[in-house]
A and B are shown apart, each in its own frame.
Chain A
Amino acid sequence: MSSMREIKNRITATSKTSQITKAMNMVSASKLRKADKQNRAFIPNKERIKSVLEDILATFIDVTHPLLTARETKRTGYILVTSDRGLAGPYNNNVLKAFKAHLAKNHANQEDFIVGTIGYKAFSFCKRNNFPMINSESVNSRDDLEFIDFQIMSRTFIKHYLDHKIDKIVIFYNHYVNTLTQTVETYTLLPISTLVKKKDDQVAEFLFEPSPQEVINQLLPIYLENTLFGIILDAKSSEHAARMTAMKNASDNAEEVITKLNLYYNRARQNAITKELTDIIGGANAVN
């Protein structure tokens, strides 16, 4: 058994660690609340643009756009959404594992796909595996997310799609179900299939400036970026939730370890006392 001093040191170290994990848990909890609020606030914005697009597509049948038509898939673009930093339990690993499994199943050689990453973890993962990448620098996945952060990447993707360099874009991300559950999901960003051409008489009589086709041309990329933004917000909520749970578990484990170590410490202390007593008694006996 280790000496009393060693055990004491380990107890202090573990309790320090548990202090840090507890603080991280609380920080994540408050960040989660904020991210969730932002996520919810963004939904109406997204829906509004979607409804305008649907209105145009329902009223003007002859309006089309290459982003709306599916074609044979030769090369696929992937977007991986992860976090910048670790200590979030299986959060990043789940996405990367799912992506690797998907690649093994669908793509035999590296010419068939290209990856765009959000978050440093995905970036270094792709670099390690030598995947073909669209962004030479990591796209930050910050807590205060802004469009400008990922706009260069999303614009490149859309341009590649319009130039027929890629024929499909799929996003891998963690969907936020609740604080304890986050599931890895895939979302097909392009070609756009979510805009349902509904036959509705309630369509408002709008003037389109300059023309419906122009409005569609300019609004579709905005719609795509908004969708991506929404997904990143969702992933952000998942990240904070995952980190919160991981840190909660770490704090609980630390408590457990401390209790165990305390037991060992007391045993060691008692041993030492017993040893001293036997020494004293032995000494006294020898004198008598």
Chain B
Amino acid sequence: MKIIVVTPEGELYNEEVTSVIVSSANNGEYGILTGHLPIVSTIDTGFVRMTFNQLTYYVAIVNGLVQQVHDVITVIAQDAYIGESKESAFENLNQIRKARIESNRQRNLELAMAENELKKQIKQTGAGNI
């Protein structure tokens, strides 16, 4: 069985797995094994647990679609982060999101400051007036 996790930045994960557990805050949990009927479900915030022999990985998913056809599972997500445990995957996700919001705020501040500075300069120099 194969799993492909896709985000807008490209393919995050594309590997062979033996079993997958899909868990989402709104739908609860279910597992997919080889030979499962074609299935479609959604994840608002949740994770996908992938097991390959003894190895287990978690992918934290935000707003995603899970589709399984002919033993190929495709997860299309708006945001996804991989981790070795559920906690670390979510911590990774939250950390990056928090940093992003902070940097957006900072940018807004800088742009507003630059605009004010420009207005002040225009007033002082009388630029644009003949």
The answer to whether residues A215 and B40 also contact, given A148-B100, A209-B27 and a CB cut-off of 8 A, is yes
The answer to whether residues A149 and B111 also contact, given A206-B40, A208-B41 and a CB cut-off of 8 A, is no
Pairwise interchain contact A206-B111, C-beta atoms closer than 8 A:
no
**What residues of chain B lie closer than 8 Å to A283, measured between beta carbons?**
none
Within 8 A of A (CB), among B50-106: 62-65, 67, 69, 74, 76, 78-79, 97, 100-101, 104-105
User: Does B39 sit at the interface, judged by CB under 8 A?
Assistant: yes
User: A204 CA to B26 CA in the complex, in Å?
Assistant: 25
Smallest CB gap from B9: residue in A:
A38
B76 touches which of A48, A84, A124, A206 (Cβ 8 Å): A48
User: Does A41 sit at the interface, judged by CB under 8 A?
Assistant: yes
Within 8 A of B (CB), among A100-142: 120, 124, 137-138, 140, 142
**What residues of chain A lie closer than 8 Å to B27, measured between beta carbons?**
209-210, 214
B39 touches which of A41, A209, A214 (Cβ 8 Å): A209
User: Does A163 sit at the interface, judged by CB under 8 A?
Assistant: no
Smallest CB gap from B63: residue in A:
A222
Pairwise interchain contact A146-B74, C-beta atoms closer than 8 A:
no
User: A208 CA to B37 CA in the complex, in Å?
Assistant: 10
Pairwise interchain contact A207-B38, C-beta atoms closer than 8 A:
yes
User: Does B10 sit at the interface, judged by CB under 8 A?
Assistant: yes
Number of interface residues of B (CB under 8 A): 32
Smallest CB gap from A48: residue in B:
B76
User: Does B35 sit at the interface, judged by CB under 8 A?
Assistant: no
Smallest CB gap from B37: residue in A:
A207
Secondary structure class of chain A's binding surface, majority of residues:
helix
Pairwise interchain contact B76-A147, C-beta atoms closer than 8 A:
no
Pairwise interchain contact B8-A45, C-beta atoms closer than 8 A:
yes
User: A48 CA to B10 CA in the complex, in Å?
Assistant: 14
Within 8 A of B (CB), among A126-175: 137-138, 140, 142, 145-149
Nearest chain B CB to A155's CB is how many angstroms away?
Answer: 11
Pairwise interchain contact B100-A149, C-beta atoms closer than 8 A:
yes
**What residues of chain B lie closer than 8 Å to A85, measured between beta carbons?**
111
Pairwise interchain contact B107-A140, C-beta atoms closer than 8 A:
yes
B111 touches which of A42, A45, A120, A219 (Cβ 8 Å): A120
Smallest CB gap from A138: residue in B:
B108
User: Does B20 sit at the interface, judged by CB under 8 A?
Assistant: no
Nearest chain A CB to B3's CB is how many angstroms away?
Answer: 15
User: Does A205 sit at the interface, judged by CB under 8 A?
Assistant: yes
Pairwise interchain contact B30-A140, C-beta atoms closer than 8 A:
no
- The listed residue with most A CB atoms (<10 A of its CB), out of B39, B40, B107, B115, is B40
Pairwise interchain contact B8-A215, C-beta atoms closer than 8 A:
no
The answer to whether residues A209 and B40 also contact, given A124-B115, A146-B100, A149-B100 and a CB cut-off of 8 A, is yes
User: A81 CA to B40 CA in the complex, in Å?
Assistant: 33
Q: Which 3 A-B pairs have the closest CB atoms?
A: A209-B41, A218-B42, A147-B78
14 additional contacts, CB 8 Å, given A124-B115, A204-B38? A49-B76, A120-B108, A140-B107, A140-B108, A142-B107, A146-B79, A149-B104, A204-B69, A206-B67, A207-B37, A209-B27, A214-B42, A222-B42, A222-B64
**What are 16 A-to-B residue pairs whose CB atoms are below 8 Å?**
A38-B8, A41-B10, A49-B65, A52-B65, A120-B111, A137-B105, A137-B108, A147-B62, A148-B97, A149-B104, A205-B38, A207-B37, A219-B42, A222-B42, A222-B65, A229-B8
